[in-house]
Amino acid sequence: MNLAGQLYKLQQLDLELQKKQQELTDVENQLSDNKPLVAAEARLASQKEQLADARKKQKSSEWELEDLQEKIRQIDGKLYSGKTKDPKELVNLEKEVKGLKNQTTTKEDILLGSMSLVEEMEATARTTAGELERLKEEWEQLQETLRPRKSEIEIALSELKGERSRLADQIDSEAFNIYERIRLARGQAVVKVERGRCLGCHITVPTSQWQKAKAGDLIQCNNCSRILYLE
Ligand SMILES: [Zn+2]
């Protein structure tokens, strides 16, 4: 292989290396991106907290209601035991019972509201828990697929690096340095010449130039400085 051919091959390896490196980065990003899972976990935790609060409120409504009913029972006891004879006191007691019964109705409405809220929240938390379970499974499956994929890419990368280093050792060091310099500056250091034009900048290359390039010499485009290559 002549010098230009070696440099062209080197560039193909570099492009392949770049591609594999990008693939590795993508796989690593996917492997570490568990944001949806973390978000679902946080959502469930907050829903459970809210549910616990709602249950507490329901419980205290139940207790308040029991207290009211107990009070009513006690007054009813006084009213119907026959022990209280004073008509004024009887009227007061009846009034009190009426007031307590009104309070009971209000409390019952509140309790019903609390109960249905708790039910609603339980259903929501169940949905989130199901979703979380599904995300966990997906995550695990993805990890299982991606981990071997990552190893494959790493092996391919190390093979490519070995190949590149072997090829670089064979290339004249001055030419190698020119290649590296142009690669850093322009991304692609070696370009083909087609129909007499440099494919890097599309400027016509003098015939003498491309003939030398075809012979395998290191010829750079007068316009863009890239190394010219003809098969
Ligand atoms: Zn050019």
Token pair for residue 55?
Answer: 């249950």
Residues 194 and 230 in one domain: yes
Residues 41 and 79 in one domain: yes
Concatenated DSSP letters of 101-122: HHHHHHHHHHHHHHHHHHHHHH
Ligand 1 centroid to Cα of residue 191, in Å, is 8
- Which amino acid appears at position 226 of this protein? R
Residues 52 and 100 in one domain: yes
Residue 15 counted as domain residue: yes
Residue 28 counted as domain residue: no
> Which pLDDT tens digit goes with each residue over 61-99?
999 999 999 999 999 998 888 888 888 999 999 999 999
Of the candidates 121, 139, 170, which is a domain's last residue?
170
- Identify the pLDDT of residue 215: 92
> Which pLDDT tens digit goes with each residue over 128-137?
999 999 999 9
- Identify the pLDDT of residue 85: 84
Mean pLDDT to the nearest integer, 185-213: 94
Ligand 1 centroid to Cα of residue 44, in Å, is 60
> Measured between alpha carbons, how far is residue 4 from residues 65, 164, 193, 219, 226 in Å?
93, 15, 12, 8, 11
Of the candidates 143, 170, 197, which is a domain's last residue?
170
Q: How many distinct structural domains can be found in the chain?
A: 2
Ligand 1 centroid to Cα of residue 104, in Å, is 91
Residues 111 and 136 in one domain: yes
Residues 117 and 223 in one domain: no
Measured distance CA(137)–CA(127) in Å, rounded: 16
198, β-bridge pairs: 193
Task: At 191, give phi and psi (nearest 5°).
Answer: -130, 150
- Identify the pLDDT of residue 83: 84
> Which pLDDT tens digit goes with each residue over 157-169?
999 999 999 999 9
Ligand 1 centroid to Cα of residue 17, in Å, is 24
Ligand 1 centroid to Cα of residue 35, in Å, is 46
Ligand 1 centroid to Cα of residue 190, in Å, is 10
